[in-house]
Structure 1
Amino acid sequence: MKVIKSLLIVSSAILLISCFGFTDNKINKKKQNTKANFKPNKNTKVAYFASGCFWCVETIFESVSGVEEAVSGYAGGHTKKPTYQTIGTGKTGHSETVAVYYNPKKVSFETLVTVFFGSHNPTTINGQHPDYGTQYRSIAFYEIASEKKIIESAIAKLNKEVYSGKIATEVTKLIKFYKAEAYHQNFERRNPSQGYVKAVSVPRLNRFKKRFPELLKTDEH
């Protein structure tokens, strides 16, 4: 009985600091922002990255100067209309992905790739602590050949200078991006007291800010 009780305690602790398992009934719905009002202009470009829980990734990219908006969603899988619950099974092939809308006159795709690799551990296979599973794997998506070249060049450089050839990031052509449910958008900003946000998201964002202060917006709120 003691063993079973201990396992239940450990399991509960893991769920408290896990990105998965939350529903729209368990989080703050006030001022829920679906980002439906965001209208990219003709000069706006979009880049797509997956590096663990999209609550964290979205907030990191939104802190970068030149980024107009970041939208949480799903990509890289083989099923249509994935949902938060279905990708959690690990059977859809999708990864929690963020669409980064940016002004190329203010920030380059190459810089966004630097942000991507500089804000997570790209050597971790199928996950970013404390979230593990194929839905949390590291993927740098590309739409055109020049983007693929930039990503592959960054990987080659980091493998040689930092990670000793251990980078596990997938380089994948984007086929389809599905926007996540409304309650995931701006999750960290709307739920500052939520357990995972306090224990994982905020520390991850702060580590990024400390490492790349020159890339941050000066009018953050």
Structure 2
Amino acid sequence: MKNAESSAINVASETTNSGPIGKKKSTTPLLAAEVPIRPDRGTHRMKRGLAIFDIVLRIGALSSALAAAATMGTSGQTLPFFTQFFQFEASYDDLPTFQFFVIVMGIVAGYVVLSIPFSIVCIIRPHAAGPRLLLLILDSVALALSTAAAGAAAAVVALAHSGNSSTNWLAVCNQFGDFCQQASGAVVGSFAAVLLFLLLILFSALSLKNAH
């Protein structure tokens, strides 16, 4: 009798765990397979292309800033007629605005040189947001400095070309034509650097968009 009871109990325990066709049901839930998320190839190529174009723009900004600083820093003219006691001479260091211009353009050019390694890192790792964000912030500072220097120098150059009859300021470019030509060229170069920094900021913002 004991053997019959034990066998009956075993059969009952097996039938409670069996399915409708006699197979044992699994109580373990199915886990979804984890698929690694890979960046889109199109996005990857776009970010790398922007990074390559970024370094090209930086080289252009460096050339513009250096040319502007060098042109303004070497600007000067001495008129052929002079007396025994004084001579007529114009130089960039006669005006604090032009001195500020040379200093700022030199600082901006130095910053661009230091930023090129970070731009190379962005080429190697296009989806790295840290270096790109740092460049975006520093480029904005460089843009502000360049715009301030270019605007101030442009105002002085315009005054030198046209003068101001209300304040009896003469148009000195009528006498110092070479000096004004050099100063005007330096201002044009500085505005070219401003435009390139605007493009750098724009491309940095596009690269940071949907960054992984």
The TM-score normalised by the length of structure 1 is 0.23
The TM-score normalised by the length of structure 2 is 0.24
Q: Which has the larger radius of gyration?
A: 2
Bigger share in helix: 2
